[in-house]
Amino acid sequence: MKEIDNIDNTEGLEKRERVDTINLEYLKVKDYEELKEIMIAVYPNITDPYWKKKDIQKLISIFPEGQVVVKVNGEIAGCALSIIVDYDKFTDTHTYMQITGDETFSTHTPKGNVLYGIEIFISQQYRGMRIGRRLYDYRKELCENLNLERIVFGGRLPNYHQHADELSPKAYIEKVRAREINDPVLDFQLSNDFHVKRIITNYLEGDKQSKDYAALLEWDNIYYQKPAKKPNAIKTVVRLGLVQWQMRTYKNLEELIEQAEYFIDTISGYRSDFALFPEFFNAPLMAAYNHLSEPDAIRELAKYTERIRDRFSELSVSYNINIITGSMPYIEDGTLYNVGFLCKRDGTIEKFYKLHVTPDEAKAWGMSGGEVLKTFNTDCGKIGILICYDVEFPELGRLLADEGMDILFVPFLTDTQNGYSRVRHCAQARAIENECYVAIAGSVGNIPKVHNMDMQFAQSMVLTPCDFQFPTNGVKAEATPNAEMILVADVDLDLLKELNQFGSVHNLVDRRKDLFQLKWKKK
């Protein structure tokens, strides 16, 4: 028995009558005699091929949701039987008898973590109708609804005996995966997103066609949430608030903070989880130092950075919102950097650096690039932050993606539309190749009394990968170009999980790591 041969091939199509109804139903005890006849026909080469009536009664009694049939015109066309097990009590080399408690199902427990498939079969008459797909799709939904880690079963290799003399089980599976050998069972299981974890020996006693081998197959539930011992506040739908900041003259620091608080107040009023400010949004304060050289003026501006950081941290707590401060000049051990701060609503503060300063930043201000790149854990998942020019270097986004980044924030400052286009298009590329959301926020307007900061061009936006779960053009939301405003948009982190597993392409998974690798050298 057991996750069996010829699940859904085309044999029997010519004999089939017109289909009036097709329904998936819970298996009932009254279906037993019909079920028995089908199993006898399906398993002609197996001794004692059908379940006893008491076994079916037991399964229905202990786990009715796990026992389902598909009926075509009122007749059983296919059946799937399952139990829930605490898989931690077994090894990946278990046998069928061990996992089913010698077919007593004593191993079933509602407190288990794995949905285990103990049987699936399709009537000869109804093969080719994708009945098996309906049953597997139901199991996947059941696994998700019950918050189980995965689906596991031992898959027979009924055609392996034809190749056993020249191929090991592993080689046989690889050739099936490469479509060099046709195996209707394994082909079907692989096409339904199951993956082979290992080969099991002596899984099903007396299975001569499989030469006593089986493939241990798994399907991972990407929505599984491990039960927490304390309340878990991590959100899956995250609201982003982007500040498209108007450059204007401010008399002093307090006036600038007052304007920033206005935006924070407004964005938090929409119950946003993040507020993103642009790069060098505080540059207007340099107007007071316009009589100095550009390197001296930027260093005077750096004296405000820690005070702005502390005020933003206070605002993040009082308005219950995570604030990404954009970026500001910052002197550390005598060296001038471009840095920003993540002010979390729990009161903690983390710092990020611009790693690639532009030629103008280095030439006009004597600014140096930082040497730290990392993701940040938040109550809305893992995020990454790259300042402006950094997003134009694909390696950085990929390194953050390898650390599990869900959302990439990019505070930027661009004076021309050319510069903006570089940031915007590179940001969209990062969203596609790293299967993440990217939020970019910039400044608009001009501040003629500040050298090297004459004018700005920006259109803030939230970008997505390009697949069926997302907008076709990969733009979730966008601000009006060159106008002071806020942009608020929701992003669903679960859609990223779906993309990673079921997307049209798999940009992260399909990387040829056998040919190339990306490595962070700085310790």
More confident residue, 422 or 22: 422
pLDDT, mean of residues 146-171: 92
Q: Residue 521 phi/psi, 5° resolution?
A: -85, -30
Instruction: Report CA dihedral (473, 478, 481, 482) to the nearest 10 degrees.
Output: -150
Contacts of 460 (CB under 8 A, 6+ apart): 242, 243, 244, 278, 439, 440, 441, 442, 478, 479, 487
Number of other CB atoms surrounding residue 510 within 10 Å: 8
Tell me how far CA of residue 73 lies from CA of 23, 126, 136, in angstroms.
9, 11, 21
pLDDT, mean of residues 295-312: 96
Q: Which residue has the tokens 């003629």?
A: 448
Number of continuous H segments (helices) and E segments (strands) in the chain: 13, 22
Instruction: Report CA dihedral (354, 356, 360, 361) to the nearest 10 degrees.
Output: 30
C-alpha span between 95 and 202 (Å, rounded):
7
Using DSSP's 3-state secondary structure scheme, residue 353 falls into strand
The pLDDT score that the predictor gives to residue 208 is 81
Q: What is the pLDDT of residues 323-362, one digit of tens each?
A: 999 999 999 999 999 999 999 998 999 999 999 999 999 9
- CATH class of this structure's domain 22-220: alpha beta
The pLDDT score that the predictor gives to residue 15 is 45
Least confident stretch, 11-25, 454-468, 495-509: 11-25
Q: Domain residue spans in the chain?
A: 22-220, 237-502
Candidates 335, 458, 352, 361; CA nearest to 396 is 352
Name the β-bridge partners of 82.
117
Q: Which residue has the tokens 């920003």?
A: 340
The DSSP-derived string for 259-302 is HHHHHHHHHHHTT-SEEEPPBTTTGGGGGGGTTS-HHHHHHHHH
The pLDDT score that the predictor gives to residue 195 is 93
Dihedral sign for Cα atoms in the order 41, 46, 51, 52: positive
Please check the confidence at residue 11 and state whether its pLDDT lies above 50.
no
Q: Which residue has the tokens 């099936």?
A: 176
pLDDT category of residue 12 using cuts at 50, 70 and 90: very low
pLDDT, mean of residues 177-191: 87
Please check the confidence at residue 21 and state whether its pLDDT lies above 50.
yes
What is the DSSP code (8-state) at residue 6?
A: S
Please check the confidence at residue 156 and state whether its pLDDT lies above 90.
no
The DSSP-derived string for 383-423 is EEE--GGGGG-HHHHHHHHHTT-SEEEEE---SSHHHHHHH
Q: Is 484 noted as a catalytic residue in this protein?
A: no
Strands 237-247 and 274-276: parallel
Q: Residue 58 phi/psi, 5° resolution?
A: -65, -45
Q: Which residue has the tokens 């079969």?
A: 121
pLDDT category of residue 37 using cuts at 50, 70 and 90: very high
Mean pLDDT, the chain, whole residue set: 91
Of the residues 2, 119, 143, 279, only one is catalytic, namely: 279
What percent of the chain shows pLDDT beyond 70? Answer: 95
Token code pair at residue 325: 């401060």
More confident residue, 400 or 445: 400
pLDDT, mean of residues 8-26: 65
Of the residues 79, 380, 388, 426, only one is catalytic, namely: 388
- CATH class of this structure's domain 237-502: alpha beta
Q: Is 279 noted as a catalytic residue in this protein?
A: yes
C-alpha span between 432 and 434 (Å, rounded):
6
- Find out whether 260 and 226 touch, Cβ atoms under 8 Å: no
The pLDDT score that the predictor gives to residue 14 is 43
The DSSP-derived string for 463-504 is E--SSTTS-TTSEEEEPPTT--EEEEEEEEHHHHHHHHHHSS
The pLDDT score that the predictor gives to residue 17 is 61
Q: Is 254 noted as a catalytic residue in this protein?
A: no
Of the residues 2, 71, 344, 354, only one is catalytic, namely: 354
Contacts of 380 (CB under 8 A, 6+ apart): 234, 235, 238, 273, 274, 322, 407, 493
